[in-house]
Amino acid sequence: MAKNFISNSQESTRMFKSDLLEVLSKVHYLVPVFIFVPVILVSTYLALFVKSIGIVTYFEFFLIGLFVWTFTEYIMHRFVFHYVPKNKIGLRLHFIFHGVHHDYPSDAKRLVLPPSVSIPLATAFYFLFDAILPANYIFGFFPGFILGYLFYDISHYAIHHFNFKGNIWKKIKQHHMLHHYQAPERGFGVSSPLWDKIFRSDFVKK
């Protein structure tokens, strides 16, 4: 069986004929921090000093948001990013959203979501959760959810470019490297293998 192409260097590949679209498809790994840390701070301020939901309630929903992110990360990676359509346009979209990362896993400029994707997604999730949660509790929940996303994005970059010494980080890196180089159909948790264990999509580690 033919193996999928995987570049072992830090090279990149051109995805778009348009220079503008090509630039927008690449992003420094710290850009999400500059965009979303203010979102966390403003939401926290609104929760505690404007909406006055209470510090205990804030932290409760902050932790719930963080936990919900881990599930969202798993579901999106497994069922959205790894959904491979059969038609030509679908295959092209799959390559743009995630296939390019599996072909060029060390491309430093395509390891975190570009703002053209992350901002619309965050906005959609905000309105979704705001419609579900009790009034004003979104300002406790959303900072936790966004912090989970930031941890995912930055840790994803670190997994591909840093050499870890701590055992926990080594295990997280091993989990993701197995996803890239051994079994792309397993190991969908990036920042945590929790949901892989629950849904039995983890690796059989020998």
23, part of any domain: yes
Residue partners of 159: CB distance under 8 A and separation at least 6: 172, 173, 176, 177, 190
If one counts the domains in the chain, the total is 1
12, part of any domain: no
What's residue 182's pLDDT? Answer: 87
192, part of any domain: no
For the record, the structure tokens of 5 come out as 């192409």
202, part of any domain: no
33, part of any domain: yes
User: What's the Cα-to-Cα distance from 56 to each of 95, 102, 187, rounded to whole Å?
Assistant: 44, 42, 35
107, part of any domain: yes
The string of pLDDT tens digits covering residues 42-84 is 999 999 999 999 999 999 999 999 999 999 999 999 998 888 8
The secondary structure of residue 29, as a DSSP letter, is T
For the record, the structure tokens of 173 come out as 């890196």
Cα 61 from Cα 55, distance rounded (Å): 10
The secondary structure of residue 109, as a DSSP letter, is G
34, part of any domain: yes
Cα 147 from Cα 196, distance rounded (Å): 21
Q: b/e string for 50-86 if b means 16 or more Cβ within 10 A?
A: ebebeeebbebbbebbbebbbebbbeebbeeebeeee
Using 50 as the pLDDT threshold, list the residues of the chain that sit under it: 1-2
Domain carrying residue 131: 19-162
